[in-house]
Amino acid sequence: MPITPQELIANLGDLPPLPQVATQVLRVSADPDATAEDLRKVISMDQALTSQILKISNSAMFGMMREVTTLTQAIMTLGFSTIKSVVIASSAKNLYHRGTVGLQERLIWEHALVSAIASRAFAKSLKFPRVEEAFIGGLLHDIGKSVLGVKFPERYGALLRTVYNEGAICQNMELEMFGFDHAMVGEALVSQWNLALSLQTAVRWHHDPIHASDDHRELAAIVALANHMALEQKVGIGDPAHLDGANQQAMEILRVGPEALSSLKEGILAAIEQDKSMIAEF
C-alpha cells in the first residue's frame, strides 16, 4: 500500500531546513520591488556564500565575459533568478555532503550538478520558458537521497553500495527498505522549503514524468531526460537502462524523437564539458 505524505513525514521526523540566508534570498528575489542592493545586503551576511557566488560568477557555467569582483556586479550581471539558482545550489551542496558517506557522496553531488546543467541546456534548446527552474529541478531531483543518508546513514549507505556494486534499482530497494523512495522524500523536502509547486512535482516524478500534473509535466520530463543523460555519461550511481522508461515518457511529453534527442545531446555534452572544472570545484 502506498505511503501517504503525512506518514512519510512522520517516519522521517524533522527534515533539514533551508538555511536562513537562502530563505531570505528567495524572499527578496521573489519580491518585484526588491533592488540589487536589498539582495546584496542579505547575501553579504554570509561570507562563504558571498565568495561562492563570486567564484561561480566567474566560472564558465554562467557564461561570464569579464571578471566579476563585487557582489553588486555579480547580481547585476547574473540577474536575480540565476543568483537564486546559485544560492539553492549552495544549500543543496551542503545537504548532499551531509548525507551519504565517501564515494557515494561525491558521485551523488556530481550527478546533481551535471543533471542541473543538462536540464538547463535541454530547457534552452526546447524553448522551455523557465530555464533557471529547470536548472534547480535538475539539481534537486535526487535530494531525497541526501535526506535518507542523513536520517539513516548506515542502512542507506549500505543500500547505495549495493546499487553501486550490484547494479540494483535504487528506488525499488528504497521502497522495500522504507516503504517510500527518494523521489517522495525529495518532494517532501522541496515542499517544506516552500519552493515552487513545479519543482516539487518535477522532483516527485523524475522517474515517471507521465504522472506529473499537466502544468508541470514538461519540467518533470526535462529533468528526467537530464537525469538519464547524466547516468549515460556515467556521472552518478545507477544504470541508465533502469530509467529507459522515464526517458521514453519524457521524449513523448516533449515531442522529441530519437534523432532530435541525439543531436540535442551533442550540444549539451559540450556544455557539460565546458563546465567540468566548475563541477569539480563547486
List interacting residues with Fe ion (CB under 5 A): 142, 227
- CB neighbours (10 Å) of residue 164? 16
Q: Measured from the CB atom, is 125 or 227 closer to Fe ion? A: 227
Cα separation, 87 vs 201, in Å, equals 21
Q: Measured from the CB atom, is 74 or 226 closer to Fe ion? A: 226
Do 43 and 51 form a contact (C-beta atoms < 8 A)?
no
Q: Measured from the CB atom, is 112 or 196 closer to Fe ion? A: 112
Do 174 and 114 form a contact (C-beta atoms < 8 A)?
no
- Minimum CB separation of residue 227 from Fe ion in Å reads 4
- Minimum CB separation of residue 126 from Fe ion in Å reads 19
Cα separation, 133 vs 150, in Å, equals 26
> Rounded to an integer, what is the distance from CA 202 to the centroid of its chain?
10
Do 243 and 231 form a contact (C-beta atoms < 8 A)?
yes
Q: Measured from the CB atom, is 52 or 249 closer to Fe ion? A: 249
- Minimum CB separation of residue 94 from Fe ion in Å reads 19
Q: Measured from the CB atom, is 40 or 145 closer to Fe ion? A: 145
Amino acid at residue number 271 = A
- Minimum CB separation of residue 127 from Fe ion in Å reads 24
- Minimum CB separation of residue 147 from Fe ion in Å reads 13
Q: Measured from the CB atom, is 132 or 142 closer to Fe ion? A: 142
Task: Dig out the grid coordinates for 211 from the structure.
Answer: 504522472
- Whether the CA torsion 235, 241, 243, 245 is positive or negative: it is positive
Cα separation, 244 vs 143, in Å, equals 21
- Minimum CB separation of residue 91 from Fe ion in Å reads 18
